[in-house]
């Protein structure tokens, strides 16, 4: 996989969004992060600041464009990561809906309930889900995180069982330094265990 040919948009600049953005950027992907104005300004000024478990001091990842208006960047993306809270998912999806002819694969990265699956825009034939395998918190503007195994899998709307899943997403994340595995049964897991 040619990482330097991948264009990824990350909507949301929380712990998950910043860690994904930094790792993808460091691996050679073209990354744009969409954030609220105050978050975008902080990211432009200081970069993404990470501190992994066992690291003595934080490191700054610079060069990741942070923007408030993401629509122009989404149009050319291979992946659009919706790294927002569950209550912000509808707004993030409406951002995608504003872009005609989107060829990207939307990837939901937030906790999801059955009611959330109903929000998925039927115009996109594929939806993937990323279940983060890392824990993280913000502390003094630094993302402190502990790595684990991330799972990815297909997330098809209830009336669209045709999403076969995307092994390439797990490969992309693994090459970016996030241990990931493809789990085609992820939607079944949600249907059994979530309200």
Q: In the 3-class helix/strand/coil scheme, how is 27-69 assigned residue by residue?
A: CCCEEEEECCHHHHHHHHHHCEEEEECCCCCCEEECCCCEECC
Q: Name residues of the chain where pLDDT drops below 50.
A: none
> Domain coordinates of the chain in residue numbers?
3-193
Residue 6 in tokens: 């991948």
Give the pLDDT score at 126: 77
Backbone angles phi and psi of 171, in degrees to 5: -65, -40
- Pairing outcome for strands 48-52 and 59-61: antiparallel
Q: Which residues are CB-neighbours of 71 under 8 A, at least 6 positions away?
A: 95, 98, 99
Task: Name the CATH superfamily for 3-193.
Answer: NAD(P)-binding Rossmann-like Domain (3.40.50.720)
Helices (H), the chain: 15-26, 37-46, 71-74, 89-97, 114-117, 167-175, 186-193
Q: What is the pTM of this model?
A: 0.88
Q: Give the number of other CB atoms < 10 A from CB of residue 16.
A: 24
């Amino acid at each position: 996989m040619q990482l330097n040919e991948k264009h990824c948009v990350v909507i949301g600049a929380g712990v998950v969004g910043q860690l994904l953005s930094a790792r993808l950027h460091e691996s050679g992907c073209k990354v744009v992060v969409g954030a609220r104005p105050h978050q975008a300004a902080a990211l432009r000024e200081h970069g993404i600041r990470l501190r992994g478990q066992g690291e003595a001091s934080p490191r700054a990842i610079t060069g990741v464009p942070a923007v408030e208006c993401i629509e122009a960047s989404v149009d050319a993306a291979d992946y659009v990561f919706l790294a927002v809270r569950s209550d912000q998912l509808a707004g993030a999806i409406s951002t995608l809906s504003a872009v005609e002819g989107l060829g990207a694969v939307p990837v939901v990265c937030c906790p999801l309930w059955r009611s959330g699956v109903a929000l998925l825009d039927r115009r996109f034939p594929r939806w993937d889900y990323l279940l983060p395998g890392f824990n993280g918190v913000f502390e003094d503007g630094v993302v402190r995180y502990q790595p684990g195994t991330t799972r990815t899998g297909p997330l098809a709307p209830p009336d669209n069982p045709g999403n076969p899943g995307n092994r390439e997403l797990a490969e992309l994340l693994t090459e970016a330094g996030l241990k990931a595995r493809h789990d085609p049964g992820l939607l079944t897991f949600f249907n059994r265990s979530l309200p």
